[in-house]
Amino acid sequence: MNLTQKQLSALAKVSPPTISRFEQNAKDIQLSTVLAILDVLGMTDNRTLIFSDTTFHRDIDDTIVFWGQEGEKRVRCRISHEALDDHFSDGDKLRVEMAFKKYRSAIEALARRKYLLDQREPDGGVLIRTEDVRPGRVSGVPVT
């Protein structure tokens, strides 16, 4: 970017010696400082997908549809019946809608991860399939 250490330090709001330590791969630099430098260099991803709309519905294809928001863009997110049944039904104790309600935050985290990794459907939305849910734990939720 043809920036001097002094220019980069001014843009990142850190000291020139900090820029020097960063360039030398010093291990004692705070994460917030590293992020400020990387942000100035255009090396951070500030996108986020939030879920302020709490509504959802069951679609004709038996998926649960819920909505995320990235800035002004509304993003259609879905989770398959199979994924809910396989990973979030508490051993077949919960119906699909109840499983979605109970584990919504974990499901939203999965949708956010797929969205930010650009694992989107042709329409730009996100579809969580059973194979997208890793065995183990998802955001503190036991997953089978």
Mean of the pLDDT values across residues 40-57? 90
Residue 19, CB half-sphere, CA atoms under 13 Å: how many? 17
Residue 131, number of CB atoms within 10 A of its CB: 10
Predicted TM-score of the model (pTM): 0.71
CATH class of 56-143: alpha beta
Q: Mind spelling out the 3-state secondary structure of 42-102?
A: CCCCCCCCECCCCCEEECCCCCEEEEEEECCEEEEEEECHHHHHHHCCCCCCCCHHHHHHH
pLDDT digits (tens, 9 = 90+) for 65-94: 999 999 999 999 999 999 999 999 888 888
Reading the block at residue 13, the tokens are 């709001």
Domain parsing of the chain, residue ranges: 5-40, 56-143
Across the chain, what does the average pLDDT equal? 89
